[in-house]
Structures are given as structure tokens and as C-alpha cells.
């Protein structure tokens, strides 16, 4: 069984490639057009976060972080390892580690890779939890700095250069959003939410200011001033937010899109947080939204617990189509303790495609120009259990018939037939 991460898409050596990690410890790199496997790379643990492509102008790189506590840098074209670095030392424990998706940026004048890592141990001799964010040189994998950020799991970081400073933004399951100076690793400010932050924030540039848009399990979306952390506006949904918000320019309008476990996809006015429209998916939305510009349509794509990919008009909030993407292969509750893959959209050879790894074990590429065609029927566990007695009915009926005949034979008295009835002998 393979559980997929969200994908990364890039053009490498003139070819469109898509890379995706999996719980089977492997990173897979596929041809984005044909789906042909270019190569796979095996790590020492689960890959639970998205890989990242980078080009330094001379060559292409692919980075992946694994729960074996290692960050790997590969040749993106050939899949050969260039370097590996342990962000946490390994020792046998009763715990484990979880690494975030690597993100490329800069520290001073050097290209850098930022990755969050969380380790824990439940043994009596060494019980602890620790979260850190580390910066490594992109070409050599050498440590630049590392900062302690409490004791809870971290989201993937976000790097940006704004307002005369390089920033790294990262959230945590303790509900704290950290704004960090990328050059020094110093925490500039932090904002505490009422519940866990499960996915990285988005960034909005508006009227000469930059704003951080973040969602949390409390169900609130907030706009925070990048330079100070001051709250600009808040919007409350009806349930948890597991994915990241998305900021999109639609002509003269700027909107924030976010999905919630209340089943709603919300479009908000970026400057004020006012609700523009709400689309109901009919099931909890667990993914981050992604945008695709197919023809004259702007589509917002989200994945929900009805096991479908929904394509919604970004302007009107109306469903364009929904495509079935497979049911889980085991009994699973639709909660946010596990973060499932979000769809990723890209324009490949003039055609918009959505890439999605589903929890049914299949990685799919869905062309958006014909993805609205009839999908295969959804088969549920209920239909299986309803059909199960019907399939067994003939066998059960035959078994009952044979049992009844056997019992009738056993219980019938042994009476001689008239032809064989014995006549007493004449005593004379």
C-alpha cells in the first residue's frame, strides 16, 4: 500500500517531470506527459512531505526529506544522490521523527534549503519532544543555522523576500505561527492560534504591505501583517482547516480561497476577509486548493472526503465538474490527524493537468479539459456488504437442503418393507 505526498512539477532538461514521495520509503520521478517512471530513489523511512525541484542555472536538483531524519539532494535528471545530511542524530528510541517538505530560498547571498523536523521519544529514560527549523546550503548540504521552535510538529516552511528582509514562515501543531529572519534564524515575531496549524500559510501583497494568510484547526482564517504579526482581519468557518489558504489574482480582483472540514470552499475578499461565495462539497475538504486557468475558465481544485476532485469556478463558486479519485483501501476516519495529498495543477504542453496521489494507492494525472467526463461509479463498503448475502444465498440454500435431507434420513424409523416382512414360524 502506497500513500502519496503532494507532487512537485518542473521542467528538467527539456522534459516535464513530476516527483512524488510515498510511505513505502521511495521517491518517484515520472514523465509528466506519459506517466512513465524515470527513476525511483529509496530512503530509510517514510516520505511524508512533498519533494522540491531547484535549478541553479547549470543543473537541476531535487530535494526530499525522509522520516529517517535525513535530507537528500539528487540530480533531478538522473536521480543520483549528490549529498545527504542528517538534521537529527539517530539513536534507537521508542519514538520517531517527521520532517517537513524542503523549501528553497537564500541565506545572505547563498542558496539554501529550509526544512522543519520534529523528533520524539516515549522511553522512560529519555522522554521528550523537540521541533527545529534548519537551514542548509543548497549545493553542499552544510548546516547554516538551526532554531528550536517548541515541542510540536512543524508545517512546511515558506520563504519570501519582502520589506527589506528575507523571511521564513512556519506553523506548528501547538498553534504558533513563527516569522523568522532567514539570514540569522532569529524569531522576529510569533502569533498564537486557538488550535493547531497543520499547513503552511500563504502570502498576500496588498497596497505596499505584505500579509500572511493562515488557517488553523480552530476553523479561522487570519490575515497577519508580515512586519509585525498584527491581525488585519479574521474569518471563521464551521470546522477545522487542514490545508493551506490560496491567494489568487482574478483580473482586477484578489481573492483568498480556503477549504474547511465543514464541507465548504470559501472565497474571501483579500483586503477585508469578507465572504464572496461558499461552495459546498458535501464532505469535509482536507486539501489545499490549487488554481488552473483552463480556456476562459479559472478553476479552483480541491479534494474532499467524498473521494472526489472538485473543480469550482473561481469567479462564481459553481461546480464545473467532480471526478472520483478512489476510496481508501482500509477503514479510515475523515479526520486531520493525517494530512493527505493536495492536488497540484500545471500547464504541460499547452494543456492543464492536475496531479493527485489518492489514498486508494494510485497516482493520477487528470487533464482538466476532459476530466469532467463520466467517472467510474463509486463503490462503497455498504454496497459490498449488501451484495455479500446475495452472493452467499445459493450456497447457503444448498447447505440447508442437504442438512435437512440428512436429518430426515437419520430420524426415519427402520420399518421392514412388506416384501421382506418376516412371518413367525409355525410351532407345529
Q: List CB contacts of 48: < 8 A, sequence separation 6 or more.
A: 5, 21, 23, 67, 98, 99, 339
Q: Provide the total of helices (H) and of strands (E) in the chain, helices listed first.
A: 1, 32
Higher per-residue pLDDT: 406 or 375: 406
pLDDT at 428: 44
Percentage of the chain beyond pLDDT 70 is: 85
Q: Is residue 358 part of a domain?
A: no
Sheet harboring 52-55: ordered strands across?
52-55, 60-65, 70-75, 81-86
Q: Is residue 73 part of a domain?
A: yes
Higher per-residue pLDDT: 124 or 211: 211
Q: How many domains is the chain built from?
A: 1
Q: Which of 48, 14, 46 is nearest to 31 (CA)?
A: 14
CA–CA dist 116, 146 (Å, integer): 9
CA–CA dist 286, 358 (Å, integer): 12
pLDDT at 374: 46
Report the CATH number at residue 72: 2.40.10.480
Q: Is residue 372 part of a domain?
A: no
Q: By mean pLDDT, which of 119-123, 270-274, 379-383 is the weakest?
A: 379-383
CA–CA dist 297, 190 (Å, integer): 38
Q: Is residue 6 part of a domain?
A: yes
**Average pLDDT of the residues of the chain:** 88
- What's the mean pLDDT in 142-161? 97
- Owning domain of residue 62: 1-86
Higher per-residue pLDDT: 328 or 416: 328
Q: Is residue 324 part of a domain?
A: no
pLDDT at 182: 98
pLDDT in tens, 290-317: 999 977 789 999 999 999 999 999 999 9
Torsion of CA 85, 89, 94, 98, to 10 degrees: -30
Q: Is the model's pLDDT at 416 over the cut of 60? A: no
Q: Is residue 56 part of a domain?
A: yes
pLDDT in tens, 172-198: 999 999 999 999 999 999 999 999 999
Q: Is residue 23 part of a domain?
A: yes
pLDDT in tens, 381-404: 444 445 556 666 677 777 777 776
pLDDT at 116: 98
Q: Is residue 209 part of a domain?
A: no
pTM for the structure as a whole: 0.85
pLDDT at 364: 94
Sheet harboring 290-294: ordered strands across?
290-294, 297-304, 308-313, 319-324
Amino acid at each position: 500500500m502506497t500513500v502519496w505526498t503532494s507532487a512537485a512539477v518542473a521542467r528538467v532538461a527539456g522534459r516535464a517531470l513530476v516527483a512524488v514521495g510515498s510511505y513505502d520509503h521511495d521517491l518517484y520521478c515520472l514523465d509528466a506527459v506519459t506517466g512513465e517512471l524515470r527513476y525511483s530513489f529509496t530512503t530509510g523511512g517514510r516520505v511524508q512531505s512533498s519533494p522540491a525541484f531547484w535549478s541553479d542555472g547549470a543543473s537541476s536538483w531535487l530535494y526530499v526529506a525522509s522520516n529517517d531524519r535525513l535530507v537528500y539532494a539528487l540530480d533531478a535528471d538522473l536521480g543520483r544522490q549528490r549529498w545527504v545530511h542528517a538534521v537529527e542524530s539517530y539513536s534507537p528510541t521508542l519514538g520517531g521523527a517527521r520532517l517537513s517538505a524542503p523549501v528553497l530560498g537564500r541565506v545572505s547571498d547563498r542558496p539554501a534549503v529550509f526544512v522543519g523536523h520534529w523528533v520524539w521519544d516515549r522511553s522512560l529514560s529519555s522522554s521528550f519532544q523537540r521541533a527545529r527549523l534548519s537551514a542548509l546550503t543548497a549545493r553542499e548540504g552544510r548546516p547554516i543555522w538551526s532554531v528550536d521552535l517548541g515541542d510540536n510538529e512543524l508545517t512546511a516552511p515558506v520563504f519570501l523576500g519582502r520589506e527589506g528582509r528575507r523571511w521564513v514562515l512556519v506553523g506548528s501543531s501547538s498553534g504558533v505561527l513563527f516569522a523568522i529572519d532567514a539570514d540569522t534564524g532569529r524569531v522576529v515575531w510569533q502569533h498564537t492560534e486557538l488550535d493547531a496549524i497543520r499547513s503552511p500559510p500563504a502570502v498576500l501583497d496588498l497596497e505596499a504591505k505584505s500579509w500572511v494568510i493562515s488557517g488553523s484547526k480552530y476553523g479561522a482564517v487570519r490575515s497577519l501583517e508580515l512586519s509585525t504579526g498584527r491581525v488585519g482581519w479574521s474569518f471563521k468557518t464551521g470546522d477545522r482547516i487542514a490545508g493551506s489558504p490560496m491567494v489568487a489574482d482574478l483580473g482586477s480582483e484578489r481573492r483568498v480561497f480556503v477549504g474547511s472540514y465543514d464541507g465548504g470552499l470559501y472565497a474571501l475578499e483579500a483586503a477585508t476577509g469578507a465572504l464572496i461565495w461558499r461552495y459546498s462539497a458535501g464532505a469535509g475538504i482536507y486539501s489545499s486548493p490549487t488554481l488552473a486557468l483552463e480556456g476562459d475558465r479559472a478553476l479552483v481544485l480541491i479534494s474532499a472526503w467524498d473521494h472526489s476532485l472538485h473543480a469550482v469556478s473561481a469567479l462564481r463558486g459553481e461546480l464545473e465538474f467532480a471526478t472520483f479519485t478512489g476510496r481508501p483501501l482500509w477503514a479510515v476516519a475523515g479526520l486531520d490527524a493525517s494530512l493527505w495529498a493536495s492536488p497540484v495543477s500545471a500547464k504541460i504542453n499547452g494543456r492543464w493537468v492536475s496531479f493527485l496521489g489518492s489514498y486508494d494507492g494510485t497516482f493520477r494525472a487528470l487533464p482538466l479539459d476532459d476530466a469532467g467526463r463520466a467517472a467510474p461509479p463509486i463503490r462503497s463498503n455498504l454496497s459490498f456488504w449488501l451484495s455479500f448475502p446475495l452472493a452467499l444465498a445459493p450456497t447457503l440454500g444448498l447447505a440447508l437442503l442437504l442438512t435437512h435431507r440428512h436429518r430426515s434420513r437419520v430420524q426415519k424409523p427402520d420399518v421392514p418393507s412388506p416384501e421382506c416382512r418376516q412371518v413367525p414360524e409355525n410351532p407345529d
